[in-house]
Amino acid sequence: MATTRTFSISGNNESLNQRRESITAQDVGALARVDTVVAEEAAKATQTEVNMTLSQGLKIYPKAIGWSVLLSTCIVMEGFDLVLINSLVALPAFQMRFGDPVGDGTYQISAAWQSGLANGALVGEMLGLMLIGLIVERLGYKKTLIGALTMITGLIFIVFFAQSLPMLLVGEILMGIPWGAFQTLTTTYAAEVCPVQLRAYLTTYVNLCWVLGQFLSSGVLKGVSGETGPIGYKLPYALQWIWPIPLIIGIALAPESPWWLVRHQRFDEAKHSLQRLTSKGQGTVDHNETIAMMLYTDELEKASTAGVKYIDCFKGTNLRRTEIVCMVWAIQTLCGSAFIGYSTYFFEQAGLDVSSAFSMTLGVYGLGAVGTISSWFLMMKVGRRNIYLYGQVCMVCILLVIGFLGIIPRSATGAQWAIGALLIIYTFVYDFTVGPVCYSLVAEISSTRLRNKSVILARNFYNITGIIANILTPRMLSPTAWAWGAKAGFFWAGVGALCTVYTFFRIPEPKDRTYAEMDMLFEAKVSARKFKHTSVENFASAGSDGHRGSVEKQNVAMNEKS
């Protein structure tokens, strides 16, 4: 019979209490195997985390919440600038400076250049994401983010002093590289510093940061919408310099991810990081047990995934996990959210004046923020899968109605305002369901050893779908191209319906599951629709005979309840 993956910390027979006093690099050695004592400690930490209530989590981990919120604020800056790219084309000052006359005394940025500017940022993000995947495993979260913020501080000069559309394009591509760091590291850091009960809220907070950045950007653009000089488009770019310095100072003071430290066998530092992330005297969390749980989970994943390279994301059970996280993020675009990014331009093409268009856009993002916050309360009762699934169903219905209203002539003002109102409702539903829940699903479904690389692959797949959407959407809306207007709702409703079918059959429910339990469920090839009702007795066979590779029979007791 094959031997169990056990590991030996030392050769003597210390009592459990003595062994719990200290887990250090010298004790653990090469981390090749896990013995019964460490498995027992890991089981205790897992049980503590699963049984922890939301109120207990808030009391024990307020510091972790604060640090996660700080790092996620980097996304506010990205959301701010990405809205600038798509909304500046609706700004008269920008149109007059960079656009071409269309014959009625107005100026327009061609659909090709609209797509080019938006896609330039996405191309830069794809490059940045791939680089970050190599850098973060060596340097850690803090140093990588500080480097990205320092880089973007200098790159803002390019777009601020841009004299042509090609110069703007170069600036957006280069700025996209550090944005790639923000996209992945903020989500994974939030997933790694908090317990199960807080994971969903802090990972979905990233979506709120996106919405806040978009709202602030729309407010600034509305404020300068009456300007006809260079200040009308230079001021929004200049305001980006507000963010980097305070964020660099804050991140330099933040604790490193304990999961990253454990993966690098820096156990004393991991324990110190845990102490900085929790409050003393507020609960029964044992840091040594928590580190043992991280060790056990890491060893569990090593059994099915030997390395931490990109190719390992496509091996064994990780292939299924990679496919799911890639599709989860792609659905954010494919569900029709491209309308939101081009909302100001959409409102103008629907017949609203510039001021009203920006006012409607403010309403879109304001309600989006309300939707994200509201989703936190819904997630207390309902799992991620159901929210994600039924949110898509609602959005498909709204897009169909928008499409039918688009058939009505533009001269019908009431129909145009109805389309605007439906777009606001659509945004609320999106930011109540798919928008925030996506971040939680991506962070929880990927394995801990491959989380950064899985998120990077998923985000790049999202960027690819974003490039396609940025090619199609301006052409759908532009009067000099396809001029579909609101009838584009039919197209996105059809794509959204296909995404809904995928969600039903492929996306599992990670609510209330620890990372070790998720590993076991995936290794046992449990159907996505049965994740919620399958019980897992993890650590049951740790230290006993039996090969751990046969999860269902020897190391995991699973009992399907339905």
What residue ranges do the domains of the chain occupy?
Answer: 62-257+307-506
% of the chain at pLDDT higher than 90: 15
Check residue 503 and give its pLDDT: 95
pLDDT at 250 over 90: yes
Instruction: Please compute the mean of the pLDDT values over residues 509-533 and round it to a whole number.
Output: 84
Lowest-confidence segment of 213-217, 278-282, 528-532, 550-554 by average pLDDT: 550-554
Instruction: Please compute the mean of the pLDDT values over residues 121-129 and round it to a whole number.
Output: 84
CB atoms inside a 10 Å sphere around CB 113: 19
Q: Find out whether 167 and 138 touch, Cβ atoms under 8 Å.
A: no
Q: Which two tokens stand for residue 561?
A: 């309840």
Lowest-confidence segment of 255-269, 308-322, 344-358, 434-448 by average pLDDT: 344-358
Check residue 254 and give its pLDDT: 93
DSSP label at residue 50:
H
> Tell me: the pLDDT tens digits for 346-383?
676 666 677 777 777 777 778 888 888 888 888 777 88
- Buried b / exposed e over 373-409, threshold 16 CB at 10 Å, is bebbebbeeebbbbbbbebbebbbebbbbbbebbeee
Q: Find out whether 431 and 470 touch, Cβ atoms under 8 Å.
A: no
pLDDT at 540 over 90: no
pLDDT at 150 over 90: yes
pLDDT at 279 over 50: yes
Check residue 401 and give its pLDDT: 92
Check residue 411 and give its pLDDT: 61
* Fold annotation for 62-257+307-506: Growth Hormone; Chain: A; (1.20.1250)
**Top mean-pLDDT range of 172-181, 233-242, 262-271, 322-331:** 322-331
Check residue 193 and give its pLDDT: 86
Q: How confident is the model at residue 511 (pLDDT cuts 50, 70, 90)?
A: confident
Pairing of strands 534-537, 557-560: antiparallel
pLDDT at 278 over 70: yes
**Top mean-pLDDT range of 59-73, 105-119, 407-421, 515-529:** 59-73
Using CA atoms, how far apart are residues 229 and 27, in angstroms rounded to an integer?
67
Question: Facing residues of 559 across strands?
Answer: 535
**Top mean-pLDDT range of 205-219, 241-255, 409-423:** 241-255
SS3 state at 218: helix
Lowest-confidence segment of 163-167, 231-235, 416-420, 450-454 by average pLDDT: 416-420
Q: How far is CA 160 from the centre of its chain?
A: 28
Cβ burial of 230 (10 Å; 0-12, 13-18, 19+) is exposed
The residue with greater pLDDT, 387 or 56, is: 387
Check residue 479 and give its pLDDT: 66
Radius of gyration of the chain (CA): 25
The residue with greater pLDDT, 547 or 231, is: 231
Q: Find out whether 304 and 523 touch, Cβ atoms under 8 Å.
A: yes
DSSP label at residue 512:
T
Q: How confident is the model at residue 345 (pLDDT cuts 50, 70, 90)?
A: low
Q: Which two tokens stand for residue 433?
A: 């369901």
pLDDT at 552 over 50: no
Taking CA atoms, 419 is separated from 119, 365, 408, in Å, by 27, 16, 11
Q: How confident is the model at residue 151 (pLDDT cuts 50, 70, 90)?
A: very high
Q: How confident is the model at residue 121 (pLDDT cuts 50, 70, 90)?
A: confident
Q: How confident is the model at residue 36 (pLDDT cuts 50, 70, 90)?
A: low
> Tell me: the pLDDT tens digits for 25-34?
333 333 334 4
Residues 6+ apart with CB under 8 A from 131: 177, 180
pLDDT at 109 over 90: no
pLDDT at 35 over 60: no
Check residue 380 and give its pLDDT: 74
Check residue 157 and give its pLDDT: 92
Instruction: Please compute the mean of the pLDDT values over residues 331-355 and round it to a whole number.
Output: 74
Lowest-confidence segment of 204-208, 222-226, 248-252 by average pLDDT: 222-226
- DSSP assignment of 115-181, as one string? HHHHHHHHHHHHHHHHHHHHHHHHH-HHHHHHHHHHHHHHHHHHHHT--SHHHHHHHHHHHHHHHHH
- DSSP assignment of 283-346, as one string? S---HHHHHHHHHHHHHHHHHH----SGGGGGSTHHHHHHHHHHHHHHHHIIIIIHHHHTHHHH
